[in-house]
A and B are shown apart, each in its own frame.
Chain A
Amino acid sequence: MNDKSLIQEFKENLKKRKLIGTKCRTCGSIGVYPNSQCRKCGNASFEKVKFSGKGTLITYTILHAVPLRFKENAPLVIGLVELEEGGRISAQLNASQDELSVGKKLEAIFQEIDGRILLKFKPLGGI
Chain B
Amino acid sequence: MKVESIFITGVGQTKYGKLEGQSLSSLIYEAASMTLLDASIARSQIDAIVISNLASNRFNDQQNLTALCADVLGLSGTPAFRTGASSASGAAAIQQAVMMVKSGMFDNVLVIGVELMNQVPTDVSTSILANSTHPWEQEQGITIPALAAMCTRLNMIHNGLTREQLALVAVKNHKNALLNPLAHFHHKKVTIEDVMNSPIIADPLRLYDFSPRSDGAAAIIISSGKSVKKFCEQPIRITGIGAATDVFAYMDRENLMSLDATRLAAERALKTAGMTQKEIDILEVHDAFTPLELVNLEDMCFFERGSAGKALEEGITEREGQLPVNVSGGLKAKGHPVGATGIGQVLELTLQLRNEAGKRQVPGVETGLAHAIGGFGNNVFVTILSRT
Q: Is the CB of B143 within 8 A of A63?
A: yes
B157 at the interface (CB under 8 A from A): yes
Q: How large is the interface on B (under 10, 10 to 19, 20 to 34, 35 or more residues)?
A: 20 to 34
A80 at the interface (CB under 8 A from B): yes
Complex-state Cα separation, A66 to B125, whole angstroms = 11
Q: Within 8 Å CB of A92, what residues of B?
A: 140-141
B146 at the interface (CB under 8 A from A): yes
A60 at the interface (CB under 8 A from B): yes
Interface membership of chain A positions 11-34, coded 1 if the CB is closer than 8 angstroms to chain B and 0 otherwise: 000000000000000000001110
Q: Is the CB of B252 within 8 A of A61?
A: no
Q: Within 8 Å CB of A79, what residues of B?
A: 150
Complex-state Cα separation, A88 to B136, whole angstroms = 12
A68 at the interface (CB under 8 A from B): yes
Distance in angstroms from A117 CB to nearest chain B CB is 11
Complex-state Cα separation, A9 to B204, whole angstroms = 36
Q: Is the CB of B153 within 8 A of A65?
A: no
Number of A-B contacts (CB under 8 A): 97
Q: Is the CB of A67 within 8 A of B126?
A: yes
Given contacts A61-B150, A71-B123, A80-B250, contact A66 B143 (CB under 8 A): yes
Complex-state Cα separation, A31 to B143, whole angstroms = 22
Given contacts A65-B201, A76-B141, contact A39 B252 (CB under 8 A): yes
Q: Is the CB of A78 within 8 A of B140?
A: yes
Q: Is the CB of A65 within 8 A of B136?
A: no
- Which residues in A have some Cβ–Cβ distance to B below 8 Å? 31-33, 35, 39, 58-71, 73, 76, 78-80, 88-92, 102, 118
- Which residues in B have some Cβ–Cβ distance to A below 8 Å? 122-124, 126-127, 130, 136-138, 140-143, 145-146, 149-151, 153-154, 157, 199-205, 247, 249-252, 256
Instruction: Name 17 extra pairs, CB < 8 A, besides A63-B142, A66-B141.
Output: A33-B249, A39-B252, A58-B256, A63-B141, A63-B143, A64-B201, A67-B141, A68-B124, A70-B141, A78-B141, A78-B142, A78-B150, A90-B140, A90-B249, A90-B250, A91-B140, A92-B141
The 10 closest A-B pairs by CB, nearest first: A61-B149, A70-B141, A59-B150, A62-B203, A67-B127, A90-B251, A88-B251, A68-B127, A63-B146, A67-B130
